[in-house]
Amino acid sequence: MCYFAYVVVVGGGGGSKQRHGERERRMMEHNAVDARNESGSDIVIVARTDARQALSLDEALYRSRTFADAGADVVFIDALASRQEMEAFCQVSPLVPKMANMLEGGGKTPILTPLELQDIGYKIVAYRLSLIAVSIRAMQMLLLLHILIIFESWVRVFSLDGVLRKFFVS
């Protein structure tokens, strides 16, 4: 996956952002698209901008439009602050899929259901914390399973005998 963005975070949080100049941004866009086209592979360009929080909604919408015009496969504006802003974003370049980031419990963007997001016009949604929580639970269950059965059985169940022998037997 390849990303190109107008605004790059340069600090460790706190809203610290650095803006690229217009010429540099256009060059980044076209370089990403050219690299995808020349590679002949199935690279998907997800174009992201943080301009909503760093600058303005109008600037973020403008940048997402230029991403789409340059050939991005998916566009994403971080930190949209309301459903109305999300709807406005989905009206920009309607043929290019939009991505939403549902950061449960702490993001700027309102949490909407998958059906609400689809109705607005989103095609891709990231539920980052939910997926991490489910992954953690699966890992906990695996560890519990490991405690309940003897190690040799665990190795046999997961077909790890050859892998373990390669790393632990001289």
Is there a single domain that holds both residue 101 and residue 63? yes
Is there a single domain that holds both residue 103 and residue 61? yes
Structural domain boundaries enclosing 157: 133-168
Q: Which two tokens stand for residue 164?
A: 């373990």
Is there a single domain that holds both residue 7 and residue 54? yes
Is there a single domain that holds both residue 30 and residue 97? yes
| SS3 at position 40 | coil
Is there a single domain that holds both residue 121 and residue 48? yes
Closest CA to 19 of 53, 42, 45: 53
Is there a single domain that holds both residue 6 and residue 71? yes
Beta-strand pair 74-77/45-49:
parallel
Q: Tell me how many domains the chain contains.
A: 2
pLDDT digits (tens, 9 = 90+) for 50-106: 999 999 999 999 999 999 999 999 999 999 999 999 999 999 999 999 999 998 878
| Cα-based distances in Å from 80 to 6, 86, 110, 152 | 16, 6, 8, 51
Is there a single domain that holds both residue 36 and residue 6? yes
Closest CA to 125 of 115, 135, 133, 134: 115
CATH of residue 12's domain is 3.20.20.60
pLDDT: which is higher, 130 or 88: 88
pTM of the complete model: 0.69
Is there a single domain that holds both residue 102 and residue 139? no
Longest Cα–Cα distance in the chain: 63
